[in-house]
Amino acid sequence: MTVTAEDLTRQATEFLASHDPASTDRMEFLRARFDAGLAWIHFPAGLGGQNAPRALQSVVDSVFADAGAPDNNPRRIGIGLGMAAPTILAFGTPEQRERFLRPLWTGEEVWCQLFSEPGAGSDLAALGTRAVRDGDDWIVTGQKVWTSGAHESQWAILVTRTDPDVPKHQGMTYFLCDMTAPGVEVRPLRQITGEAEFNEVFLTDVRIPDTQRLGAVGEGWKVAQTTLMNERVAIGGHVQPREGGLIGIVAKTWRERPELRTPELRDRLVQRWVEAETLRLAGTRLRQQLTAGAPGPEGSAMKVAFSELNQALTGLEVELLGEEGLAYDDWSFRRPAIVDFTGREAGYRYLRAKGNSIEGGTSEVLRNIIAERVLGLPSEPRVDKDVAWKDLPR
Amino acid sequence: MSDLLYSDVEEDLRASVRDLLKAKAGAEALLARVETAEPYDLKLWHTLADEVGVAGLAVPEELGGHGASAREVAVVAEELGRSVAPVPFLGSVVLATTALVHVGAREFVGKLAAGQAIGALAVPLSTAPGAGFPSSVTANPDGTLTGRVGTVADASVADLLVVPAAGPDGPALYVVEATAATVSELVSFDLTRRVADVSLETAPATLVASGPEAAAALEQALLFGAGILASEQAGVAEWALTETVTYLKGRYQFGRPVGGFQSLKHRLANLYTDLVLARAAARNAADALATGTDVPIAVAVAQARNAPIAVKATEEAVQLHGGIGMTWEHPAHLYLKRAKADELALGTPGRHRARLADLIDLPA
């Protein structure tokens, strides 16, 4: 029988009656919520859920939020929740699910993602971090990059090369890597903004037990696809109120600072406003399609448009500020806990937005995806298709 | 929040209109007609108006219509945009009928809704919502009208002209039989939607509204028209993208399909992205008009966004088709001409942005 919104509201209310958020230890509270099947309700029973429809998650979340209950700080553990967890659920052994999902959801163990490499960006499947079998373990050596939160993580999802003699999409294997294991070295990667949101991770003879392999040997690409699909779901599902994004900040500046206004800037600002509003509507429409059970292929297009808008808008904001735009708030080498577009000033936003068209799929790759998968145009030539990974030019 | 999807009923309506247009308004038929003495396909119009029922689609049932809303009208506009069928939908159903419904002119609305007469709103097609009430036509003391209005959409096939005029007590709205006016079709930039000059010389007229009611009726018609036009523009853009993708898959140069070259794939991906945005803006404007919520902002946003998107899409269609896209025999130019004329129609994108700036409090 399907669980209804009423059932879930009742369950959450009963849970709150027996676990007073005000007097219960935060971690005890979160563990108990997980054990009650009220964490991610679409997960199976015993693993934090009850196989309930995912669309009803917000019903449960709002009951807890209204009661002032502590949450698991979802922004801090976004990679675990959005990417590691669905992959462990899909490919994990019963022991792996049992071991990892609960501390992942409560935030006791933070996760990061060891996918991209200096030599494997858009072409992720070309990655070369080697894993070599040694008895019941694997010995892993290589370099990963663009790893957010690596310095605060206990665990990582890791894709490696286990067989260099077959074409690149074969011969990969996926692991759960202990970030505190000997041989794991995390170095901050400083960006054009001055700060370091991300890290480089150097792996030198890191020993990973075979029990931490996720999926079969050689099936790493398939497992990684599940992770990446969930990343796209996480990026696409956000709906804002009018003026909810960065446009709201620039519009506020415009309203409060008449001395900055010129007719030419005004028309450009309205153009960006129109683009922001249309993008917001398209996002709402995409969400309505999902709710109606007919998801469309618009996600990649939305991301391309979002990047372009953010870049044009933040550029305009610096220009609008005139001589103030010549100053920058802080170049010092900092390690922000989360990316915060609104907590910094215009120059930072302008520089950080440059990453929008690179991270999570470059706009160029996304345009290929739209052209090939949505419009059905011919694929790019695949010169590496039947070549063993070790023989690829690099 | 607005409903930005298409309902099953709306999809059914789309399917009937699309089937009819596919059968009766294919590219060859359109091209064959544009230089004849009958550039409008009135036979097709009567089928659409009577059998499909588009003439009275959004007219309340008590006034003889089908009682649907702007959402359904928008779906028809989208399909007519996809086919650039030469029918007086914009002038009659979208503009003239809306103004007359607003003032409750029962007798005239009944004729238009039943498809017994074609209407046109006697303002220049470039008139934007929020423009001042026109004064180029004046009411004479005997109740007749004198004056001239240029570039009136669909006037050359209209039976009834809805004429805003300077009446004895300010703004007034009249209905004039087309036979009492001199209507001269211009050599129109848009080959599938003609504009005409309307001259009135002591023309007998029926007063249907005066004062603020007349001004409100005109504004409502212009807003409705601009909002619905956004759906037409989405339809035009969709045709341009679909047609170009199909052509580039089958066109071979350098031993491979031209659509496999990445520079062209990316341009088509950009058009697709534009189309995703244009559809959301158009649906939002249609839903706003249907519910009466947030209408001025939704319409201004949709026009500011969709007019340039339709122009860009049809310009790209011409370029990416290569030489064939520059020929008279290929229909791409009909869409380019429609898109460019639509950019001027009912307010340019710049006009809509200027109006929007005031509506959303971004002061000069």
For residues A75 and A322, give the distance between their C-alpha atoms in angstroms, rounded to a whole number. Answer: 34
Across chain A, mean pLDDT equals 94
For residues B137 and B156, give the distance between their C-alpha atoms in angstroms, rounded to a whole number. Answer: 18
Quick check: A282 and B276 CB within 8 A? yes
- Partner residue opposite B304 with nearest CB, options A255, A274, A302: A274
Asked if A189 and A198 count as a contact pair (C-beta separation under 8 A), the reply is yes
Asked if A320 and B33 count as a contact pair (C-beta separation under 8 A), the reply is no
Cα–Cα nearest to B226, from B342, B310, B336: B342
Of the residues B265, B279, B306, the best mutation for testing chain A's interface (the one with the most A CB atoms within 10 Å of its CB) is B265
φ/ψ bin of B67: left (φ > 0), alpha (ψ from -120 to 50), beta (otherwise): left
Of the residues A298, A300, A366, A377, the best mutation for testing chain B's interface (the one with the most B CB atoms within 10 Å of its CB) is A377
Per-residue confidence (pLDDT) for residue A238, from 0 to 100: 54
> Beta strand B170-177 with B206-210: parallel, antiparallel or unpaired?
antiparallel
For residues B102 and A308, give the distance between their C-alpha atoms in angstroms, rounded to a whole number. Answer: 42
**Cα–Cα distances in angstroms (integers) from residue A1 to residues A9, A52, A304, B40, in the given order:** 16, 10, 41, 59
Per-residue confidence (pLDDT) for residue B62, from 0 to 100: 96
Q: Which residue of B has its CA nearest to A257?
A: B363
The structural domains of chain B, with segments of one domain joined by +, span 8-117, 121-210, 215-359
**pLDDT above 70: residue A237:** no
For residues A250 and A228, give the distance between their C-alpha atoms in angstroms, rounded to a whole number. Answer: 33
For residues B76 and B66, give the distance between their C-alpha atoms in angstroms, rounded to a whole number. Answer: 14
Give, in words, the CATH class of A237-374: mainly alpha
Q: What is the pLDDT of residues A357-384, one digit of tens each?
A: 999 899 999 999 999 999 999 999 999 9
**A111-218: which CATH number, 3.40.50.300, 1.10.443.10, 2.40.110.10, 3.40.50.1860?**
2.40.110.10
The structural domains of chain A, with segments of one domain joined by +, span 1-71, 111-218, 237-374
Catalytic positions of A, please? Answer: 231
**pLDDT above 50: residue B295:** yes
Q: What is the pLDDT of residues B138-174, one digit of tens each?
A: 999 999 999 999 999 999 999 999 999 999 889 999 9
User: Which uninterrupted H or E stretch holds A200?
Assistant: strand A198-209
Quick check: B357 and A281 CB within 8 A? no
Q: Environment class of residue B262 by beta-carbon count within 10 Å: exposed (0-12), middle (13-18) or buried (19+)?
A: middle
A7 vs chain B: nearest CA distance in angstroms? 26
Cα–Cα nearest to B257, from A378, A370, A368, A383: A378
Q: What is the pLDDT of residues B186-233, one digit of tens each?
A: 999 999 999 999 999 999 999 999 999 999 999 999 999 999 999 999
Dig out the tokens for A11 from the structure: 């369950």
In CATH, what number does B121-210 get? 2.40.110.10
- 3-state SS class at B210: strand
What is the distance in angstroms between the CA of the first residue and the CA of the last residue of chain B? 30
B304 vs chain A: nearest CA distance in angstroms? 7
Task: Assign A1 a pLDDT band (cuts: 50, 70, 90).
Answer: low
Tell me whether A216 touches chain B (CB under 8 Å): no
Quick check: B265 and A254 CB within 8 A? no
pTM for this model (two decimals):
0.93
**Cα–Cα distances in angstroms (integers) from residue B91 to residues B77, B94, B195, in the given order:** 12, 6, 10
**Cα–Cα distances in angstroms (integers) from residue A255 to residues A230, A261, A301, B97, B310, in the given order:** 39, 9, 31, 40, 32
**pLDDT above 50: residue A290:** yes
What value does the mean pLDDT take over residues B267-279?
98
Can you give B231-272 as a three-state secondary structure string?
HHHHHHHHHHHHHHHHHHHHCEECCEEHHHCHHHHHHHHHHH
Per-residue confidence (pLDDT) for residue A236, from 0 to 100: 43
Q: Report which residue type is found at A129.
A: T
* Alpha-carbon torsion (B333, B334, B335, B339), positive or negative: positive
- Partner residue opposite B265 with nearest CB, options A251, A267, A377: A377
Quick check: B273 and A261 CB within 8 A? no
**pLDDT above 50: residue A234:** no
B349 vs chain A: nearest CA distance in angstroms? 10
Quick check: B269 and A261 CB within 8 A? no
CATH 3.40.50.1220 is right for the domain spanning B215-359? no
Of the residues B253, B254, B273, B283, the best mutation for testing chain A's interface (the one with the most A CB atoms within 10 Å of its CB) is B273
**Cα–Cα distances in angstroms (integers) from residue B180 to residues B54, B161, B167, B183, in the given order:** 27, 10, 19, 9
Dig out the tokens for A336 from the structure: 């922000």
Quick check: B266 and A364 CB within 8 A? yes
What value does the mean pLDDT take over residues B74-98?
98
A146 vs chain B: nearest CA distance in angstroms? 26
φ/ψ bin of A51: left (φ > 0), alpha (ψ from -120 to 50), beta (otherwise): left
For residues A276 and B28, give the distance between their C-alpha atoms in angstroms, rounded to a whole number. Answer: 40
Quick check: B4 and A288 CB within 8 A? yes
For residues A39 and A81, give the distance between their C-alpha atoms in angstroms, rounded to a whole number. Answer: 11
Task: Assign A342 a pLDDT band (cuts: 50, 70, 90).
Answer: confident
CB < 8 Å from B in window 270-299 of A: 270-271, 273-275, 277-279, 281-282, 284-285, 288-289, 292, 298
Quick check: B4 and A285 CB within 8 A? yes
Across chain B, mean pLDDT equals 97
Quick check: B4 and A271 CB within 8 A? no
Per CB-CB distance under 8 Å, the chain A contacts of B5 are 285, 288-289, 292
- Local structure of residue A361 (DSSP, 8 states): S
For residues B170 and B63, give the distance between their C-alpha atoms in angstroms, rounded to a whole number. Answer: 27
In CATH, what number does B8-117 get? 1.10.540.10
Asked if A92 and A214 count as a contact pair (C-beta separation under 8 A), the reply is yes
For residues A317 and B6, give the distance between their C-alpha atoms in angstroms, rounded to a whole number. Answer: 37
Per CB-CB distance under 8 Å, the chain A contacts of B305 are 274-275, 278
Per-residue confidence (pLDDT) for residue A295, from 0 to 100: 77
Q: Which residue of A has its CA nearest to B356?
A: A270
**Cα–Cα distances in angstroms (integers) from residue B262 to residues A16, A148, A368, B14, in the given order:** 56, 32, 8, 34
